[in-house]
Amino acid sequence: MAQQATTKSRAWLWILLAVIAVAVIYLGSRGHAPVPVRAARVAHQDLTSTVAANGKVEPIEDFQAHAAAAGVVDKLFVHLGEQVQRGQQLIRMDATDAASKVASAEASLQASSAALQNMEHGGTQAQRLTQQADLTAAQADVKQATTSLASLQALQAKGAASANEVALAQQRLTTAQARVTQIQKQQQHSYASTDLSAQRAQVAESRAALTAAQSGYASVDVRAPFPGTIYSLPVAQYDFVQAGEALLNMADLTRIRIRGYFDEPDIGALAAGQRVLIEWPARPNQVWHGHIERAPTTVISYGTRNVGECLITVDDARGDLLPNTNVTVTVTTAQHNNVLSVPREALYTDGAVNFVYRIVGDRLVRTPVEIAPGTIVNLIRAEITSGLKDGDLIALTGTTEGDLSDGLKVKVVQVVQ
């Protein structure tokens, strides 16, 4: 029995050794098999670096009409989307209340102006006639008192009149002369300077009220300040609107710009004059072109993002890019022509060292490459300043799950253009 057990154990040991040997042979032979890889040629190309963001379309010259006062829309002369000319009538509001305010303001101005004119001339015509009559009577009293005094003085010299009578006559003359002087002063200075100033202020206030009323009356007719297109018309005929409520929007849709919102890490690459490609999802087969008018000057909060606000002028607007629409803008921040480059997926980084795997014969050779400051590295290709030459064959990725390594035996299964 012991001998049989020993024999069986030896048999199992030989089987195990055979399996191990087969595995070693298989794995060894597999390790030496070339790894299939995709490859590409190093080549000179034109490279661009871009930054994309969202934006909103806005007119450069926008006109929004508002109701000057609460009232009824009396008539609409235009429809949504209509192109209008400078000075063309767009809307007319009911003018009843505005006309009443103009008439009231005119009456107030006439009254205050007449009062000022009367004050500057010493009073109303009736007052001036009364004063003149009083002056004539006072002057007649002076003349009569002068004659009476002269007569009494002559009689006193003959002893026919007493000194007391002469004194009384002198007093009557003095009183009459004082009355004349008083009336003449009243004619010249009927009102104090403060009274005149107050009345002049009243005239100025009335004139300002009339100007405001006339402006309100003029605003019942809304006219186009420039040629453009009606792109918003929120009211209808006979609608009642509150003061300040929007009546319509119009703009020249061939002169528009975009307010772009770029994420904070991207704004350092933006500068005035850079070319911009504009896309609107509502028209996926159409693009527009523009340039940066003003680069971001600060960072603001936009929803949950920190962004730089950028103004972009649309160079080929034809009236088909509507205000307030959301668009995508792509800015070309750099363009280098005829530079040596490699596919982005072929570039590896180990710390501060960049490298690729050149294919020399059937082996990979780890080759350091230099990417100088200012070179372009985008999502597709990377600009190389040294380490490779035009036409070099480099590995992209293997067709298996294994990693590429220096000296690895490979087989090129596809050369990507």
Query: Does the fold of domain 65-92+220-250 match that of domain 33-60+252-417?
Result: no
- Out of 3-12, 89-98, 350-359, 403-412, least confident range: 3-12
* Mean pLDDT value of segment 164-178: 83
pLDDT on residue 24: 46
* Mean pLDDT value of segment 379-399: 90
Distances (CA, A) of 229 to 234, 282, 287, 320, 325: 15, 20, 21, 11, 16
- At 10, the pLDDT band (50, 70, 90 cuts) reads low
Q: Is the per-residue pLDDT at 28 higher than 80?
A: no
Domain 65-92+220-250 listed as CATH 1.10.1060.10: no
C-alpha span between 417 and 415 (Å, rounded): 6
The residue extents of the domains of the chain are 33-60+252-417, 65-92+220-250, 104-214
In this structure, are residues 341 and 40 in contact, taking their beta carbons and an 8 Å threshold?
Answer: no
Q: Is the per-residue pLDDT at 23 higher than 60?
A: no
pLDDT on residue 12: 65
pLDDT on residue 309: 96
Encode pLDDT of 222-252 as tens digits.
999 999 999 999 999 999 999 899 999 999 9
Q: Which residue has the higher pLDDT, 96 or 269?
A: 269
- Beta bridge partners, 256, equal 59
Q: Is the per-residue pLDDT at 328 higher than 90?
A: yes
C-alpha span between 395 and 39 (Å, rounded): 4
Of 131, 228, 141, the C-alpha closest to 184 is: 131
| Most confident region among 35-49, 86-100, 206-220 by mean pLDDT | 35-49
Q: Tell me, what DSSP letter sits at residue 403?
A: P
pLDDT on residue 333: 93
Distances (CA, A) of 332 to 50, 376, 380: 4, 11, 15
Instruction: Please name the residue that has the structure tokens 């003003």.
Output: 294
% of the chain at pLDDT higher than 90:
53
Instruction: Please name the residue that has the structure tokens 């072109």.
Output: 289
Query: What's the number of CA atoms in the CB half-sphere (13 Å) around residue 399?
Result: 12
Place domain 33-60+252-417 in its CATH homologous superfamily: Efflux pump adaptor protein, beta barrel domain (2.40.30.170)
In this structure, are residues 118 and 203 in contact, taking their beta carbons and an 8 Å threshold?
Answer: no
- Out of 22-36, 66-80, 186-200, least confident range: 22-36
Q: Is the per-residue pLDDT at 124 higher than 50?
A: yes
pLDDT on residue 131: 65
What average pLDDT does the chain have? 86
